[in-house]
């Protein structure tokens, strides 16, 4: 339905958008040290800048319902099954391109300042460029397998960057956790792709191309589609940190702050949303899956927002807030409002990147301090950071006429007009919570009396221009990107006209009576206002009462420990698995006992013992095992006869 209405044109330019960061990455791998820290960083940033310029150019060229396509070569071909290495850009990809290269470019620039004193700067930029490459592959690939390559690649880069400051063992563990939790999600994702390939293959269709797949969806039974989409969604749950696999994202904050901004807020974690939108033709005819997505999205949005209220680490608040905002996006996906989901993804990228980079600026100024209880009153020291932070906070809280207002309101209105009042209610309450915890953070960090530790105080300084300029650009985006998708009663949505054709016009903005729409918006605005007021009353006027974790009690403690989900997983999943592996190693393989524990000593006893060793030791065991297996096979055969 989509392919038939759109025109496909070849544009060989496309390949350079991902390849240029890859080239810069390769140059830095081989010559990075020779070039020196500074040049390597500038080169990496410039490469993403060029990609951004190309992306803007492609965006400019792209007609409303057109698709640009660029085939490099056939990657894998077996029989009638062909997977090309080829890129495509339609309206959806074009938006993702702008987010990845645009935000990516700003964060590269910011990193020049933020990482200026870090020894591993070259390594940092190598990983960062590699990440951009894989992310671009993910959004530009014209088939599911390329998307998967990008999907795995960004996961790897994320892992390398989370563990970047490996001196602290905690960071390495966080990196591992991110990777392993993501593998659980990937398992679902791979199985989903598998099932799709198998089921279509059974009908004689071998393809994974986004252009081809929609034509064959009708061959699948509803049950199959439901199962496939559920499995694919498991992948999205892992990547986009939804319940129950969200646990890795707060820990992933161990990485350098620009990484949190780029990977764990603006781009990689949104890949799950992108994937569902890209495969909307599979998800749309799976109502059961959609309702599960909506419920998980809403539950995650609410749950993460409650946890965010109790956090004292400046980045942890933002991490849970990201989880919560991703929940909104999935809520939108779940009610079939793909366009609204991508719109929120787009605006969120700006204000969340701005918040993260702002928090980075604060952390930078305070010599690495992340505890909000040791901040306060920073407004006068960091004016530029403060003002950009205020704007981004307004945006995420959904204060009218900011970007977050428009995109969140669109989702809530879609939920309401879709008839999902429960989802809408959860969304509205979450909006209030969001306003509360974000303003709580703003007040704790920038207002009130200073609680900064004395030895840090003399060094507080505003960040250099290389860091504040990206902040200002993002702050501007945090306001105006939302204006693209204004409701009809204001000046109408440019966004819908641009993105809607990708989703085949299905589930377009559902227009109810304008008065209802305005009323619904006013309810949200009122709740947001209450949230802001409560935060103001509690945190702005006096200094914050510091609540140490061990003294905290009741609900607060539950929230602070994010409902002890981590501990729960450790009990039910991690420990039993470790035990099984150890048990197997001991039972199945006597070598582990003999060979490893005693082995070193035995070898030391020297050559003369070996013959005896071989006669009375392991080899006999091996031969018995060998013989037993052979006999088992023989018996099996004889019974067959």
Residues that bind other proteins (CB under 8 A): 29, 73-79, 81, 145, 148-149, 152-153, 156, 160, 163, 166, 171-172, 175-176, 179-180, 183, 186-187, 190-191, 194, 197-198, 201, 580-582, 584-585, 588-589, 591-592, 595-596, 603-604, 606-607, 610-611, 613-614, 618-619, 621-623, 625-626, 628-630, 633-634, 636-638, 640-641
User: In the complex with other proteins, which residue's Cβ is closer, 219 or 619?
Assistant: 619
User: In the complex with other proteins, which residue's Cβ is closer, 514 or 574?
Assistant: 574
Q: Using the 8-state DSSP alphabet, how is residue 372 labeled? A: G
**Least Å from the CB of residue 209 to other proteins:** 16
- How far is the C-alpha of 447 from the C-alpha of 37, rounded, in Å? 37
424, 346 Cβ separation under 8 angstroms: no
**Sign of CA pseudo-dihedral 42, 43, 48, 54:** positive
**Least Å from the CB of residue 610 to other proteins:** 5
Ranges assigned E (strand) in 79-173? 81-89
Cα separations in angstroms, 272 against 182, 235, 236, 241, 630: 12, 7, 4, 9, 49
Q: Write out 17-48 in H/E/C secondary structure.
A: HHHHHHHHHHHHHHHHHHHCHHHHHHHHHHHH
- How far is the C-alpha of 55 from the C-alpha of 604, rounded, in Å? 64
Q: Which of 85, 440, 103 is nearest to 266 (CA)?
A: 103
User: In the complex with other proteins, which residue's Cβ is closer, 530 or 580?
Assistant: 580
User: In the complex with other proteins, which residue's Cβ is closer, 166 or 564?
Assistant: 166
**Least Å from the CB of residue 565 to other proteins:** 22
**Least Å from the CB of residue 230 to other proteins:** 15
**Least Å from the CB of residue 281 to other proteins:** 23
**Least Å from the CB of residue 495 to other proteins:** 33
User: In the complex with other proteins, which residue's Cβ is closer, 377 or 617?
Assistant: 617
**Least Å from the CB of residue 68 to other proteins:** 22
Q: Using the 8-state DSSP alphabet, how is residue 544 labeled? A: P
54, 138 Cβ separation under 8 angstroms: no
373 phi and psi angles, rounded to 5 deg: -70, -15
Q: Which of 25, 51, 48 is nearest to 123 (CA)?
A: 25
> Residue 209 forms beta bridges with which residues?
143
318, 326 Cβ separation under 8 angstroms: no
> Residue 366 forms beta bridges with which residues?
none
- How far is the C-alpha of 204 from the C-alpha of 200, rounded, in Å? 6
51, 20 Cβ separation under 8 angstroms: yes
183 is written with which tokens?
């593998």
- How far is the C-alpha of 5 from the C-alpha of 399, rounded, in Å? 38
**Least Å from the CB of residue 296 to other proteins:** 22
User: In the complex with other proteins, which residue's Cβ is closer, 75 or 533?
Assistant: 75
**Sign of CA pseudo-dihedral 185, 186, 191, 192:** positive
User: In the complex with other proteins, which residue's Cβ is closer, 177 or 507?
Assistant: 177
318 is written with which tokens?
């933002």
608 is written with which tokens?
């003369």
User: In the complex with other proteins, which residue's Cβ is closer, 156 or 292?
Assistant: 156
C-alpha atoms less than 13 angstroms from C-alpha of 450 in its C-beta half-sphere: 14
**Least Å from the CB of residue 71 to other proteins:** 14
User: In the complex with other proteins, which residue's Cβ is closer, 53 or 592?
Assistant: 592
**Least Å from the CB of residue 158 to other proteins:** 13
User: In the complex with other proteins, which residue's Cβ is closer, 186 or 209?
Assistant: 186
541 is written with which tokens?
């006027």
User: In the complex with other proteins, which residue's Cβ is closer, 149 or 425?
Assistant: 149
Q: Write out 189-226 in H/E/C secondary structure.
A: HHHHHHHHHHHHHHCCCCCCECCCHHHHHHHCCHHHHH
3-state secondary structure at position 640 = helix
- How far is the C-alpha of 156 from the C-alpha of 140, rounded, in Å? 18
**Least Å from the CB of residue 138 to other proteins:** 11
User: In the complex with other proteins, which residue's Cβ is closer, 176 or 561?
Assistant: 176
User: In the complex with other proteins, which residue's Cβ is closer, 162 or 299?
Assistant: 162
User: In the complex with other proteins, which residue's Cβ is closer, 149 or 460?
Assistant: 149
User: In the complex with other proteins, which residue's Cβ is closer, 231 or 241?
Assistant: 231
**Least Å from the CB of residue 288 to other proteins:** 22
41 is written with which tokens?
């960083």
> Residue 85 forms beta bridges with which residues?
73
Cα separations in angstroms, 141 against 100, 270, 476: 14, 16, 30
475, 355 Cβ separation under 8 angstroms: no
**Least Å from the CB of residue 578 to other proteins:** 9
**Least Å from the CB of residue 538 to other proteins:** 41
**Least Å from the CB of residue 452 to other proteins:** 31
Q: Convert 14-53 to b/e letters by CB count within 10 Å (16 or more is b).
A: bbbbbbbbbbbbebbeeebeebebeebbbbbbebbbbbbe
Q: Using the 8-state DSSP alphabet, how is residue 143 labeled? A: B
Q: Which of 246, 398, 256 is nearest to 308 (CA)?
A: 246
User: In the complex with other proteins, which residue's Cβ is closer, 193 or 375?
Assistant: 193
Q: Which of 270, 466, 461 is nearest to 352 (CA)?
A: 270
**Least Å from the CB of residue 117 to other proteins:** 18
């Amino acid at each position: 339905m989509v392919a038939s209405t759109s025109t496909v044109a070849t544009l060989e330019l496309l390949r350079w958008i991902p390849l240029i960061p890859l080239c810069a990455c390769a140059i830095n791998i081989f010559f990075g040290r020779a070039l020196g820290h500074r040049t390597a960083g500038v080169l990496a940033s410039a490469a993403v800048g060029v990609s951004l310029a190309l992306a803007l150019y492609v965006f400019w060229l792209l007609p409303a319902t057109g698709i640009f396509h660029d085939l490099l070569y056939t990657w894998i071909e077996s029989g009638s099954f062909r997977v090309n290495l080829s890129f495509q850009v339609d309206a959806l990809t074009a938006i993702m391109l702008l987010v990845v290269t645009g935000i990516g470019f700003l964060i590269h620039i910011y990193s020049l300042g933020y990482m200026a004193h870090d020894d591993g700067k070259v390594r940092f930029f190598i990983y960062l460029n590699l990440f951009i490459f894989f992310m671009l592959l993910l959004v530009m690939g014209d088939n599911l397998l390329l998307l998967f390559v990008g999907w795995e690649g960004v996961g790897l880069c994320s892992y390398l960057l989370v563990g970047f400051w490996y001196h602290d063992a905690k960071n390495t563990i966080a990196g591992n956790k991110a990777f392993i939790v993501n593998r659980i999600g990937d398992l679902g994702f791979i199985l989903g792709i598998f099932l799709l390939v198998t089921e279509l293959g059974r009908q004689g269709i071998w393809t994974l191309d986004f252009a081809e797949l929609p034509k064959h969806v009708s061959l699948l039974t509803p049950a199959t589609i439901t199962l496939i989409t559920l499995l694919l969604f498991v992948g999205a749950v892992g990547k986009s940190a939804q319940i129950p696999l969200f646990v890795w994202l707060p820990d992933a904050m161990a990485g350098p702050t620009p990484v949190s901004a780029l990977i764990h807020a603006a781009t990689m974690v949104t890949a799950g949303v992108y994937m569902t939108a890209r495969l909307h033709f599979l998800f749309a005819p799976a109502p059961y899956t959609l309702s599960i997505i909506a419920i998980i999205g809403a539950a995650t949005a609410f749950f993460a927002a409650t946890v965010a209220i109790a956090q004292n680490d400046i980045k942890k608040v933002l991490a849970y807030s990201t989880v919560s905002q991703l929940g909104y996006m999935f809520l939108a996906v779940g009610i079939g409002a793909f366009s609204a989901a991508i719109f929120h993804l787009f605006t969120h990228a700006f204000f969340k990147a701005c918040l993260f980079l702002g928090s980075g600026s604060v952390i930078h100024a305070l010599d690495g301090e992340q505890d909000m209880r040791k901040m306060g009153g920073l407004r006068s020291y960091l004016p530029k950071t403060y003002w950009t932070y205020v704007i981004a906070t307004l945006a995420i809280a959904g204060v009218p006429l900011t970007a977050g207002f428009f995109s969140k309101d669109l989702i809530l209105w879609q939920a309401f007009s879709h008839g999902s009042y429960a989802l809408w209610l959860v969304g509205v309450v979450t909006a209030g919570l969001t306003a509360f915890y974000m303003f709580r953070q703003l007040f704790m960090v920038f207002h009130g009396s200073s609680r900064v530790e004395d030895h840090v105080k003399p060094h507080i300084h505003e960040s250099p221009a290389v860091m504040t300029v990206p902040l200002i650009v993002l702050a501007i985006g945090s306001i105006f990107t939302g204006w693209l998708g204004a409701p009809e009663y204001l000046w109408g949505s440019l966004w819908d006209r641009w993105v809607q054709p990708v989703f085949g016009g299905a589930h377009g903005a559902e227009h109810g009576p304008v008065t209802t729409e305005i009323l619904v918006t006013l309810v949200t605005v009122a709740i947001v206002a209450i949230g802001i007021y409560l935060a103001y009353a509690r945190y702005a006027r006096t200094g914050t009462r510091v609540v140490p974790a061990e003294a905290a009690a009741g609900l607060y403690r539950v929230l602070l420990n994010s409902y002890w989900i981590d501990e729960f997983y450790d009990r039910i999943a991690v420990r039993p698995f470790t035990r099984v592996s150890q048990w197997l190693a001991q039972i199945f393989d006597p070598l582990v006992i003999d060979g490893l524990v005693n082995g070193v000593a035995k070898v030391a006893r020297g050559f003369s013992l070996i013959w005896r060793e071989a006669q009375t030791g392991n080899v006999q065991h091996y031969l018995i095992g060998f013989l037993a297996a052979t006999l088992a096979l023989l018996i099996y055969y004889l019974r067959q006869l």
